Structure 1
């Protein structure tokens, strides 16, 4: 994990996207297109985009909007809740590390005496799924035990791998490492989770030097987050690939672009 990790969150908001769909379960609702007003927003770390002024580092909200139009326009759904969930998942799967996703759907004139009916999903109410990799070669068993206790402040540990000894790969003049990983359910966003892991490392005496591969009391990294591979070094350390296959076999690692 980078010692200088620092997010620059930006909010992207699309408001009042006006579409039509067959929505409802009454006969007339399934036969006549109904007006829908859709708004959504999300946050992402825009540091690279703002510094470079290069679109390739930005989240393509135009493409996301186009996908939502395709999902909604002239399609058939019984419930606003179903459509809101599909839009939420569509946005969540659009890019790694999208935070605080919010989706709001309004159906004007759906109820007598009311302007509209609204269904809203707030990502802050949802749990995220992450794989956290642990590594240590200084008093490793005790530091693993302490780290696991502190990780419970981030959420719920659902599963863990076996802990295994590995030889150092990049800086060989040091003791073997103890490595493992846990599957975590957390309400923390990706940026919050990374900062919390840095805090745990500091509490357990992690000292960073110019040698990034030096011995350490504990190393905690987000390997995957909501199905996206986050750790750029996953291809360098074979055991990380094994951990993902054990904890989240649904993630396709082969030929998958990294976040």
Structure 2
């Protein structure tokens, strides 16, 4: 998956860039106090130590072969295909659901039995009696990590309403130890936490979409390459960033 061609990135840098999926779970979206699910990365983490982040991580090769009970909405698949390898949308959606399960223990899927034995990364999920479903995921943001960082990711951010999650929203007992202090943080308070810059940018985008439950027709792409930073709109126009 790391061989995806990215415009404006040198061949040397391209080998270090990994496709990644991040999931933004939004709770009480239409209420007076909407919340997002976040956790804190460890102090010794190579990427964004100590920062509060959304669940997410790199796409695994096996993600492309995991069946989905339902695919992403067509508009999201179309936006994901812009400046990306063919078929990558499926692996990204699977990665988002897998990362949500691994890092929080929450289930995004439908009741159902797997065909055959699940691979190790999915055995815990399969044991809950669910199949992964991408129907409720909405592709809302894309960001390429700037050059010079210890790790670089071409990250796609997916928004999901918490009421689409099939498990107890406050039960993190099945989570791995990658994120600590997992919690639903009110949007009104989230900027008081230690957040990465890109997370603040994405939160502004999410806040602007609170009342619109439909997938966006145009998706922001914050592209940091060796020459300049670009703020693109996938299926839209390129706007160079200055300053």
TM-score by length of 1: 0.21
Identify the structure with the greater helix proportion: 1
